[in-house]
Amino acid sequence: MKKQIMNRVHELYWKDDINCARTAIICLSELFEITVEPQIIWSAIGLHGAGGYRAQCGVVEGTLMFIGIYLHMMKKTEDEIVSACYNFASDFDRRFGSLRCFELRPTGFSENDPPHMCESLTCNGIEFAYQYISEVTKQ
C-alpha cells in the first residue's frame, strides 16, 4: 500500500500537477475503491494551504473532505462524522506536529521552491489517513 501511495502521489504531482488536497482525495478514493464526483475534486483546487496562504494543510483538508464523503456512504451519523474528523485532526497534529501548512512547510510557496516539495509529507499523510479511516470504519 505504501508503494502504491508513493507511485500515485508522484504521478498526480509530476504528471498532472495537482495539489495535495486533491491528491489526498483521489488517493483515498482509489484506496477505498469509491467514486468521487468531479465537483469534489474541483472544490479542492484552492485547498493547498488555502490557496498558498499557508493555512490548514491540504492533506488534512482533503482527508477531512474524504472522511465526510466516505463515512456518509457508510451511513454514519453527522455526529459520528464530526467526531471522526475531530479525532483525525487531533491524531494528525500529534503525529506530524501541526495542522498548519505554515509550520509543515515553513518556507512557504515561492517560485524559487523546488516543485512539489511536500511530496514526502503528502505520501506519509495519506498513508496515515488511510490507516486512520480503516480503523474508524472497523467499528
Distance of CA 93 to the CA centre of its chain: 13
The pTM of this model reads 0.93
Query: In this predicted structure, what is the pLDDT of residue 51?
Result: 75
Res 108: pLDDT: 64
What is the arithmetic mean of pLDDT over 31-59? 90
Which pLDDT belongs to residue 116? 82
55 pLDDT higher than 80: yes
Cell of 49: 494551504
Is there a contact between 38 and 68 (Cβ–Cβ < 8 Å)? no
Question: pLDDT band for position 37 (50/70/90)?
Answer: very high
Q: What is the pLDDT of residue 109?
A: 67
Q: Where are the domains of the chain?
A: 2-138
What confidence category does residue 52 fall into, taking pLDDT thresholds of 50, 70 and 90?
confident
The predicted structure's pLDDT at residue 106: 62
Q: Is the pLDDT of residue 136 over 80?
A: yes
Answer whether residue 53 shows pLDDT above 90: no
Among candidate residues 95, 94, 72, the one with its CA nearest the CA of residue 82? 72
Residue 72, SS3?
helix
Residue of 118 and 28 predicted with greater confidence: 28
